[in-house]
Homo-oligomer: A and B are copies of this chain.
Amino acid sequence: MPSALPLSAVLLSLLTAPPKAPAAATKDVGPSPQVAERLIGAALTEGHAYARLAELTDGIGPRLSGSEGAEAAVQWAKRSFEADGVKVWLEPVKVPRWVRGEESARVLASAGRFREHPLSIMALGGSVGTPAGGLTAEVIEVRSLDEVAALGDKVKGKIVFFNHAMAEAADYGKYAGLRTRGASVAAKAGAVGALVRSLATASLRSPHTGAMRYEDGVAQVPSASVSVEDAELLHRLLVGGPVKVELKLGCKTLPDADSFNVVAEVKGREKPQEVVLLGAHLDSWDVGTGAHDDGAGVTMVMETARLLAKLKPAPRRTVRVVLFMNEENGLRGGKAYAEAHAAELANHVAALEMDSGGGKPLGVALRAGPGGEELVRPWLRPLEALGAGKMLPGEAGGADISPLIPARVPFVGVRVDSSRYFDVHHSHADTLDKVDPKDLAQSTAALAWVSYVLAEVPGVLPRPEAPPSEAPKAPAAPVGAPKPSAP
């Protein structure tokens, strides 16, 4: 935007010229280049984010809502904030408690056509189990939810196999509805189960789980993800005639459990009532160790809090870190935060969620009213050497902060490279080794600086338009998705 250039030039001169009246001038000028040095230098050299990520993934491991791992993660996060000298408290959240059981599936042999094949599958989170002896039915392949209804009676008594063509990270939003809604769409047409091709950009026979939801009043049928290889096998076998699959899922839903959002904050020196919210989600799936999803986000926001807490003076506004519980299979933490803090949401001047993995930083996106970019862009220069000094197109967002949309909280996104994120997302392979310590440090540096800018800049982001309806509204992407426009 051309109008930003003069503003930027003015600010640049302010930054480089000696302050006229030191104390007052510092306050008015806003973000300080010395702080940029300190935050970026520390994030790039001290390695705290990666060390914390190792504690969370190797030390605690998977942490699905309601599990012992999730409880351990809450206590670890609290202890860690305390050790960093950051004020921290827990806010209660009732979470669903879904547990995986023994699970397996196989294609039954078809005399003269093919012998039996094991299928590499994982129950989708929230699925009911099958009868103990399993469920055996013919498979019918579709490419979309709409195709199910179009097939009419052919679906009755079958397992609907949702195939798709996900090839790159950007395709996630296109096909995630097959996973979240497939089982109910299939059941409405009379199906007895659903198999969904894994939402994955790489596979070595690796199934990828994720949340699914049953529609009210529709029969609940078992639903599992199937590896890309086995989806292609099913497709090939179906070309030659009927294919029967036996599916055994031992998963079940237990009563809701008590858990917590972990909330920490660095109080603002001048406008403590104004809150810049930095979010990430502490829960993960029950397989892998949630290193990219969302251990990386958790450790980036924790490290940002640690670095900001050491600043003297503190930033102008309060920076609040929320480690949300239950992003993956319920969003209860995000909803609980919005409810518990409803009275102060008008003072939430910005919210940001890190939940697209630990890749290197790419730039900053916004969801704000007109003029938002002009407020932020002039302050991105310190991120240029990290390749992240750009305003990026696409709206900022995040599943856990989506309940703040009705309150018109401006959203900021520190975008990271998530082109390989779906290689491991929601799979056994989302482990520490997949996160590059350099990338994590660079994104932490970008986040720390952007957070400080939001807390220190003299003005605040214009608030975005109110959404069409007042009702809390999920973002375009499904639960568990990264920001809708993640690359």
Binding site for B on A (CB under 8 A): 54, 58-61, 68-69, 72, 113-117, 120, 202-206, 228-229, 232-233, 236-237, 288-289, 423-424, 427-429, 431-433
A114, A116, A120, A289 — which one has the most chain B CB atoms within 10 A of its CB? Answer: A114
A420 to chain B, nearest CB (A): 11
Complexed CA–CA distance, A115 and B117 (Å): 34
Given contacts A204-B204, A204-B423, 10 further A-B contacts (CB under 8 A): A58-B233, A60-B115, A61-B114, A69-B115, A203-B204, A204-B429, A205-B431, A229-B433, A232-B433, A233-B432
Complexed CA–CA distance, A424 and B428 (Å): 17
A283 to chain B, nearest CB (A): 15
Complexed CA–CA distance, A229 and B434 (Å): 9
Complexed CA–CA distance, A478 and B60 (Å): 39
Which residues from chain B contact A233 at a C-beta distance below 8 Å? 58, 431-433
Which residues from chain B contact A232 at a C-beta distance below 8 Å? 432-433
The 8 lowest CB-CB distance pairs between A and B, nearest first, are A204-B429, A205-B428, A205-B429, A204-B204, A204-B206, A229-B431, A59-B114, A232-B433
Complexed CA–CA distance, A428 and B203 (Å): 11
A161 to chain B, nearest CB (A): 16
**From B54, B58, B237, contact of A58 by CB (8 A):** B237
Which residues from chain B contact A288 at a C-beta distance below 8 Å? 205
Complexed CA–CA distance, A271 and B70 (Å): 75
Residue of B nearest to A117 (CB): B61
Which residues from chain B contact A424 at a C-beta distance below 8 Å? 204
Residue of B nearest to A110 (CB): B59
Residue of B nearest to A204 (CB): B429
**From B59, B60, B69, B203, contact of A429 by CB (8 A):** B203
Complexed CA–CA distance, A205 and B113 (Å): 32
Asked if A114 and B427 make an inter-chain contact with CB atoms under 8 angstroms apart, the answer reads no
Which residues from chain B contact A115 at a C-beta distance below 8 Å? 59-61, 68-69, 72
Contacts A58-B114, A58-B233, A431-B233 given: A205-B206 contact, CB under 8 Å? Answer: yes
Which residues from chain B contact A205 at a C-beta distance below 8 Å? 206, 288, 427-429, 431
Which residues from chain B contact A69 at a C-beta distance below 8 Å? 115
A236 to chain B, nearest CB (A): 6
Complexed CA–CA distance, A424 and B59 (Å): 30
Complexed CA–CA distance, A228 and B205 (Å): 15
Which residues from chain B contact A202 at a C-beta distance below 8 Å? 204
A437 to chain B, nearest CB (A): 13
Residue of B nearest to A288 (CB): B205
Residue of B nearest to A233 (CB): B58
Complexed CA–CA distance, A68 and B429 (Å): 32
Which residues from chain B contact A203 at a C-beta distance below 8 Å? 204, 429
Asked if A236 and B54 make an inter-chain contact with CB atoms under 8 angstroms apart, the answer reads yes
A110 to chain B, nearest CB (A): 10
Asked if B59 and A428 make an inter-chain contact with CB atoms under 8 angstroms apart, the answer reads no
Residue of B nearest to A430 (CB): B205
Which residues from chain B contact A431 at a C-beta distance below 8 Å? 205, 229, 233
Contacts A58-B233, A58-B236, A61-B115 given: A427-B204 contact, CB under 8 Å? Answer: yes
Contacts A/B (CB < 8 Å), 8 sampled:
A58-B114, A58-B117, A60-B115, A204-B429, A205-B427, A228-B433, A229-B433, A233-B433
Asked if A61 and B116 make an inter-chain contact with CB atoms under 8 angstroms apart, the answer reads yes
Residue of B nearest to A230 (CB): B431
Complexed CA–CA distance, A236 and B116 (Å): 39
Residue of B nearest to A109 (CB): B61
A119 to chain B, nearest CB (A): 11
Residue of B nearest to A429 (CB): B204
Complexed CA–CA distance, A203 and B424 (Å): 10
Which residues from chain B contact A433 at a C-beta distance below 8 Å? 228-229, 232-233
Which residues from chain B contact A204 at a C-beta distance below 8 Å? 202-204, 206, 423-424, 427-429
Which residues from chain B contact A58 at a C-beta distance below 8 Å? 114, 117, 233, 236-237
